[in-house]
Amino acid sequence: MTDILTPRERFGLLVIDEKPDRCNTIPLITSHAASVRGMKLRDYYTNGENMARAQIAAIEKYGHDAISIFSEVGIIAEAMGTEFDYPENDLPIQRIPALEKKDINDIEIPVPTSDARLPVYLEAIEYAYDALGDRVPILAYIPAPFTTGMMLSEPNRFLIQTIKEPDHVKAVMEKSLAAAIELCYHAIDAGGLPIIVDPLASSSVISPRAYRQYALPYERKLVDFLHRYDLDVILHICGDTTPILDLLKETHADLISIDRVDLTDTIKKLSSTVRVIGNYDTSLLAFSSPEEIASGVRDMVKLSMQAPKGYIAATGCEVPIHAPFDNVMAFINAAKENGWYWD
């Protein structure tokens, strides 16, 4: 069938609880766009125009329903003082955490228009919005406070501090929240729709107790801030969130993006109050055949379209950078073909 709505119209109907023509199809195509464009990763994540052009090339190739401005979750921490190396053909690698050099009280809230690579993101959002914003949602990925807090620190030390130094961790959370809010101001102004990403709050990394105590309250504060703009907010957490699935509604997010969680259980627990996004296994996207992918996506979509509040067909995590193009296309085509609500 031929699309009836533009991706922006399709997303708009979803968030006002109306059935669109078909389910939105938004695999998390982030740095994979550099492969589509045929550019080195370092050229992608250090130049806003390059990032936007790569994302536009990806959407022209695949025909999915949103642009994703993102490279990696250290972007705010870097602007707050964490040092990274920039490999030519890999994503940035943390070298020296900011809190190894300074006390949290001495770290300043970054200025998104000038500090580190935050201007790269803003340039990419603005370029993509000018090119396609009237037809396609421009998703601006914003690292959540817990993930930024861990990227400001030596990770193992930070996890120990969640047990032994709660006041310090909360101080880090408050400053990371302020930095995320400041970036959100500018991302929205540039034309982006913030999507909060908190992969280091996954149950694959921290306990449900730590999630409830440190990550959840600051996810909720960030979501509540964005609701002041009358935005519907997406929260994405990678990995296994089964132990905290019931808590995700407490974030106040309007759309929950899941990864390594049973989809049937997620729909049962969440879909009457939030819209579900997910959750095709990205390892299958990298290593299966197009035929296997088409079959798996068909089953996923047919199951998930029963979600009362609506559903977005997506990958559970980022599309692998070097995933075969035919596999990504098989995902998108299968989601579109099997996701029709309208006759």
Instruction: Tell me which residues of the chain have a pLDDT lower than 50.
Output: none
- pLDDT of 256-266, one tens digit each? 999 999 999 99
With residue 335 as reference, give the H or E element that holds it: helix 325-338
- Report strand pairing: 83-85 vs 93-96: antiparallel
- pLDDT of 135-194, one tens digit each? 999 999 999 999 999 999 999 999 999 999 999 999 999 999 999 999 999 999 999 999
Work out the angle at residue 137's Cα, subtended by the Cα atoms of residues 186 and 89, and round it to the nearest 5 degrees: 75
Give whole-number Cα distances, 264 to 24, 74, 248, 259, 297, in Å: 19, 32, 16, 13, 14
Q: Residue 279: is the preceding peptide bond cis (ω within 30°)?
A: yes
State the fold for domain 7-338: TIM Barrel (3.20.20)
Residues 96, 84 contacting (CB under 8 angstroms) = no
Per-residue pLDDT at 343: 73
Per-residue pLDDT at 227: 97
Per-residue pLDDT at 200: 97
Tell me the whole-structure pTM to 2 decimals: 0.97
Per-domain boundaries in the chain: 7-338
Please state the three-class secondary structure of 173-227 as a single string.
HHHHHHHHHHHHHHHHHHCCEEEEECHHHCCCCCCHHHHHHHHHHHHHHHHHHHH
Give whole-number Cα distances, 327 to 126, 174, 297, 312, in Å: 30, 41, 11, 19
